[in-house]
Each structure stands twice: as structure tokens, then as C-alpha cells.
């Protein structure tokens, strides 16, 4: 079920626009409009660029460039994360294979003896240390 559509009034570079969007996207639309307005004002105020259409095209190019750069960064991050996951999976597989090999070479009927493991030590309740004032 899709959300109800609402009409939102936004202002970009002193021009008002009526835009429809889903109710749940109103805040994002307003934030996007404010960002676009800021970018277009920066281009206009930098001088040399006149005309709403030209300013809009330059702002769109800047936004597209930012989007492309972020997309490439995300792809690189995903590639690096995938490499790390594969390396960890290999380490786990080796550890399991090593444990299986040790278990298969253990003598049948002879209990496994681990030494110096905290869980094998007898539990002793010790009183908390006393402090002297």
C-alpha cells in the first residue's frame, strides 16, 4: 500500500515550486530543496554565472558529480568489506579444520586434557579485599 501524496511548497533561488511527494518524504524533500537552494546561491554569488537555467545546470552537474563520487566510494568500501569478510571466513575455516584434525587424531577412550583453562579450575569464593583507612 502506497503512502498518500501531499503537495509541498518549496523555494529555490527565490522561485516557488509546488511538488508532490509521499507523506513520509516531506522532510527529505524540504531538506533537498534547501540544499539545492544553497548550492544555486553559491554558484550565483560566485559571480560570472547568470540565468536561472545556467545556474540550475551547474548545480545539477555538481550534485551529479557528488553522487558519482559517493557511489564509487561506496563500491570501494563494499569491495574492501567483502575482502575482509572472505579473509575472516578463511581463517575460521582453517581454525575449524585444525580443530577437526586434532579431534580426529585424539586417542579413542582417552579423555581430552586441557591445562590451565579458567573453566577447569575449581571455583573459590574469595572475600573482597579489605581496605584500610
SS3 106: coil
Average pLDDT over residues 51-60: 94
Average pLDDT over residues 116-122: 61
C-alpha dihedral sign at 118, 121, 126, 129: negative
- 34 φ, ψ to 5°? -65, -40
Q: Does residue 111 or residue 50 have the better pLDDT? A: 50
pLDDT of residue 28: 97
| b (16+ CB within 10 A) / e for 74-101 | eeeeeeeeeeeeeeeeeeeeeeeeeeee
Domain at 47, CATH number: 3.30.160.880
Our count of domains for the chain comes to 1
pLDDT of residue 101: 82
- 67 occurs within a structural domain: yes
pLDDT of residue 84: 96
- 117 occurs within a structural domain: no
Average pLDDT over residues 32-44: 96
Amino acid at each position: 500500500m502506497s503512502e498518500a501524496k501531499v503537495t509541498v511548497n518549496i523555494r529555490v533561488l527565490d522561485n516557488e515550486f509546488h511538488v508532490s511527494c509521499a507523506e513520509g518524504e516531506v522532510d527529505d524533500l524540504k531538506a533537498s530543496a534547501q540544499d539545492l537552494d544553497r548550492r544555486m546561491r553559491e554558484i550565483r554569488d560566485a559571480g560570472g554565472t547568470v540565468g536561472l537555467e545556467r545556474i540550475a545546470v551547474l548545480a545539477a552537474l555538481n550534485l551529479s558529480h557528488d553522487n558519482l563520487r559517493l557511489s564509487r566510494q561506496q563500491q570501494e568500501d563494499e569491495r574492501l568489506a567483502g575482502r575482509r569478510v572472505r579473509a575472516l571466513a578463511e581463517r575460521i575455516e582453517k581454525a575449524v579444520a585444525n580443530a577437526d584434525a586434532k579431534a580426529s587424531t585424539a586417542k579413542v577412550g582417552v579423555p581430552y586434557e586441557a591445562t590451565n583453562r579458567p573453566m577447569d579450575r575449581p571455583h573459590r569464593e574469595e572475600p573482597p579485599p579489605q581496605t584500610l583507612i
